[in-house]
């Protein structure tokens, strides 16, 4: 919803990323990267195969030189060498040593020379947000700063536009940094399926990418469109509308989320359910916390017999396919999911097998 999506300058990925600072001369940083580039192992398609960030300590400890990458089979592709590393997006990943971030491609080649910034965001539509001296700007894949750091909050580019906050005002810009739709007020959401949330007189509606009001502001809260529908809040209830602003079905909810892979998680009369696009309930879960579906699986949380919170996974029929035993579970992506067991974390596949680190299930 709008209130939640406004916190765009905060770290993502479950709040697990912390920055480790160490003084290092820029030229030395480049040399270290070059010296430590490893030979690739078992990587027949280096430009297309998914790679996954790892921390050799298994604890997100951010020890110097502890981050590297594996492939989907759990084989180490780049040995741990970075002080911090982010996931690959659009073929590039930010890696860090000392106070400098650079970008590597899937062959390990440095494609953006190291520079000083904080909290780089993943590339989206060819641009990545970076924070320099407390202000956000955008770089392209050559490392050129194409939109100067000046914003207090930002979103990633989607459908050619980003929502940014300057001098306490949210506005929409294009990839040149030019302002669009200046006659309207925004709240920090991005374009989604051709529509973006606008606010007028404390009510929310939607604007299309031509600048025309597509759905008049009449709601107390709105969420982005996904799969043709959006959750909107009015009269203390959530319901779904289509792009004409009409109700998609009559059911109303205590809570609702955007659709993902044909299903949406809702709270119907204080019961957590998943519904399809007709509003039909496909299955219920007794848990109060369950994620959207990703690659056919949804993470959910239960309270076990000892009163501890544990995460597992269900499939689209509602069947538990990976038993809840993790302290936390991330969504599946490219066939793997990160999970935390005790103080350590690992990758699992959709069968629940540990892919990395080797012998993880045997570690006490």
CA–CA separation, 270 vs 247, rounded Å? Answer: 21
Mean residue pLDDT across the chain: 88
Q: How many CA within 13 A on the CB side of residue 193? A: 15
Burial class of residue 176 (count of CB atoms within 10 Å of its CB; 0-12, 13-18, 19+):
exposed
CA distance 87 to 12: 12
Q: What pLDDT shows up at residue 362?
A: 54
Q: CA-CA distance, 267 to 328, in Å (whole number)?
A: 22
CA atoms of 312 and 305, how far apart (whole Å):
15
pTM equals 0.84
Q: pLDDT digits over 309-339, tens only?
A: 999 999 999 999 999 999 999 999 999 999 9
Q: Over range 219-246, report the average pLDDT.
A: 98
pLDDT digits (tens, 9 = 90+) for 32-49: 333 333 334 444 445 679
Q: Mean of the pLDDT values across residues 248-268?
A: 97
Average pLDDT for 249-258 = 97
Share of the chain above pLDDT 70, in %: 85
Q: Looking at the predicted structure, is the pLDDT value of residue 95 above 80?
A: yes
278-299 tens-digit pLDDT: 999 999 987 768 999 999 999 9
Residue extents of the structural domains in the chain: 20-117
Q: What is the mean pLDDT of the segment spanning 207-230?
A: 98
Assess whether pLDDT exceeds 90 at residue 196: yes
State the pLDDT confidence band at 5, using cuts at 50, 70 and 90: very low
- Position 24 pLDDT exceeds 80: no
DSSP letters of 251-316? --BSEE---BTTBEEEEETTEEEEE-TTS-EEEEES-SEEPPPBTTBEEEEEE-TTS-EEEEEE-T
pLDDT of residue 19: 31
pLDDT at 2: 44
> What is the DSSP code string of 29-95?
HHHHHHHHPPPP-S-S-TTTS-EEEEETTSS----TT-EEEEETTS-EEEEEEESEE---BTTEEEE
337: closest CA among 110, 125, 87, 103? 87
CA 260 to each of CA 201, 221, 241, 253: distance values in angstroms, whole numbers, following the listed order: 31, 20, 15, 17
Cβ-count burial of 83 within 10 angstroms (0-12 exposed, 13-18 middle, 19+ buried)?
buried
pLDDT for position 361: 64
For residues 204-229, average pLDDT = 98
- Residue in this structure with the two tokens 């209130």, named with its chain if needed: 3
Structure tokens that stand for 11 in this block: 């770290």
Span 118-143, pLDDT tens digits: 989 999 999 999 999 999 999 999 99
Q: Residue 62: pLDDT band by 50, 70, 90 thresholds? A: confident
Q: Note the pLDDT of residue 359.
A: 75
């Amino acid at each position: 919803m709008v209130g939640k999506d406004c916190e765009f300058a905060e770290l993502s990925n479950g709040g697990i990323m912390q920055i480790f600072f160490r003084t290092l001369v820029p030229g030395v940083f480049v040399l270290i990267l070059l010296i430590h580039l490893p030979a690739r192992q078992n990587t027949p398609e280096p430009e297309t195969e998914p790679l996954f960030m790892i921390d050799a300590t298994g604890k997100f400890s951010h020890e110097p030189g502890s981050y590297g990458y594996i492939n989907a089979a759990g084989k180490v592709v780049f040995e741990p060498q970075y002080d911090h590393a982010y996931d690959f997006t659009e073929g590039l990943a930010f890696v860090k040593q000392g106070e400098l971030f650079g970008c590597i491609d899937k062959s390990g080649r440095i494609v953006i020379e190291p520079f000083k910034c904080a909290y780089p965001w993943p590339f989206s539509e060819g641009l990545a947000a970076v924070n320099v001296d407390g202000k956000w700007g955008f770089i392209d894949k050559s490392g050129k700063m194409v939109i100067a750091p000046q914003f207090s909050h930002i979103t990633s580019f989607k459908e050619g536009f980003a929502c940014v906050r300057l001098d306490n005002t949210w506005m929409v810009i294009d990839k040149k940094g030019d302002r669009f739709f200046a006659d309207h007020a925004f709240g920090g959401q991005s374009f989604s399926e051709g529509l973006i949330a606008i606010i007028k007189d404390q009510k929310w509606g939607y604007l299309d990418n031509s600048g025309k009001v597509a759905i008049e502001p009449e709601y107390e809260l709105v969420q982005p469109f996904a799969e043709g529908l959006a959750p909107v809040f009015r009269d203390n209830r959530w319901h779904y509308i289509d792009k004409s602003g009409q109700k998609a079905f009559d059911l109303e909810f205590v809570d609702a989320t955007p659709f993902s892979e044909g299903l949406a998680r809702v709270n119907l009369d204080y019961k957590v359910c998943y519904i399809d696009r007709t509003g039909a309930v496909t299955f219920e879960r007794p848990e109060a916390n369950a994620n959207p579906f990703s690659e056919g699986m949804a993470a959910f949380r239960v309270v076990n017999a000892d009163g501890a919170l544990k995460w597992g996974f269900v499939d689209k029929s509602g069947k538990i396919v990976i038993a809840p035993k993790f302290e936390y579970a991330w969504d599946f992506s490219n066939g793997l999911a990160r999970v935390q067991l005790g103080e350590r974390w690992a990758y699992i596949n959709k069968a629940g097998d540990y892919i990395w680190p080797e012998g993880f299930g045997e570690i006490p």
